[in-house]
Amino acid sequence: MAKGILFADEKKGMVSSMAQRVRIADIAEELGVSSTTVSNVIHGKTKKISDATVKRVQELLEERQYIPSMAGILLSQNDSRIVGVVVNDHIKYEGKVLEDAFVASSINALMFELERNGYFMMVKATTDWNEVVRLASMWNMDGMVLIGFCDADYEKLREKMHIPFVVYDGYFENNKKICNITIDNFDGGRQVGEYLYRMGHRRVLCVSDNYVCVDKERIDGCGAGLQAGTLDFLQVPMQKEARRHFYEIHLQMILRHTAMFVVSDVYAMELMHFLQEQEISVPKDISIVGFDNIRLCENSYPRLTTVGQDASRRASAAVKALQELKDGTGEAAVRMLPVHLVIRDSVREEKDHE
């Protein structure tokens, strides 16, 4: 009879029993074999074990409802099937990086794509690239997907890690033998600029918390597409409360423009809400375009015009790249995916342009 732990049921005045977890040593003792033999059967290492012994062990494991430690099994194999997804917990996320719509969408798409290809996903948020190295080593990972780190961090990781990894939206002066799964940010901005120009807008304000790397590409693209008129740039704080105060101070400057290109949907909807609180109508008084096409765009009021990127397509490209890098059939290179303008209700036609 299995040993058990007793629990009192206060409602029924009864005593119930829950069997302890069966150990490998218990199975080995009952069959008269070594713990190593039982462990080898569990992990599929049966070349040197007779078929009869394998059958006896398997039958008793099933009878005793033995539950193996999945982590132990994976870590003991050369092919762990674990892929780490590490996100830079940047200060702008204010401790809520996994709640960010773009990050959440990326992780969701990666989870399903990895599962479809027989992998397990492990998620980590950190600002320290050294933790990425430790994580990869500790869990015997097959590969990693890195989101949001900077150029210098990727270089250090390439030197320290010996497993394949791919980067989301890395920005490098040259490839440096790092696989970068990115989107055509410049073309996305260009599509916005061309659309606003067609709609008659000649005074456009670009809004971002920086003017480097990805955001710079989007803003520069908007300028190229706008063709004529004025394109201004407003750099906002990274903290939410500070941004609101910033908008209050710069409200009159904002309203000197007929349209805004906000280079993330989260900032775009936040700004749209602020303007509405000031009784400024979007798009009647000012038009707004975002970037990313997160799900909330469809439910905002007005529905947000934005640039769409395909999270599932990017996840598929990332997993394929990891497999190719591991097999030696692929190379570290930039893999740029297209984007498209999603026209909704937040832009009006400006008929009084010169």
| CATH superfamily, domain at 82-184+311-338 | Response regulator (3.40.50.2300)
Residue 252 exposure: Cα atoms within 13 Å on the Cβ side: 1
Alpha-carbon gap, residue 153 to 203, rounded angstroms:
38
Q: Which of 171-175, 180-184, 277-281 is modeled with the greatest confidence?
A: 277-281
The architecture of the domain spanning 186-308 is 3-Layer(aba) Sandwich (3.40)
Q: Each residue of 263-307: pLDDT tens digit?
A: 999 999 999 999 999 999 999 999 999 999 999 999 999 999 999
The residue ranking higher by pLDDT, 3 or 329, is 329
Burial class from Cβ neighbours inside 10 Å (0-12, 13-18, 19+) for residue 274 reads middle
**Domain range annotation of the chain:** 4-68, 82-184+311-338, 186-308
Domain 82-184+311-338 in the same topology as domain 4-68: no
The residues near 338 (Cβ < 8 Å, ≥ 6 apart) are 183, 184, 187
Of residues 174, 130, 131, the one with CA closest to residue 156: 130
The architecture of the domain spanning 4-68 is Orthogonal Bundle (1.10)
- Mean pLDDT, the chain, whole residue set: 87
Average pLDDT of the residues in 314-332: 89
Contact, 173 vs 181, CB < 8 A?
no
What pTM did the predictor assign?
0.77
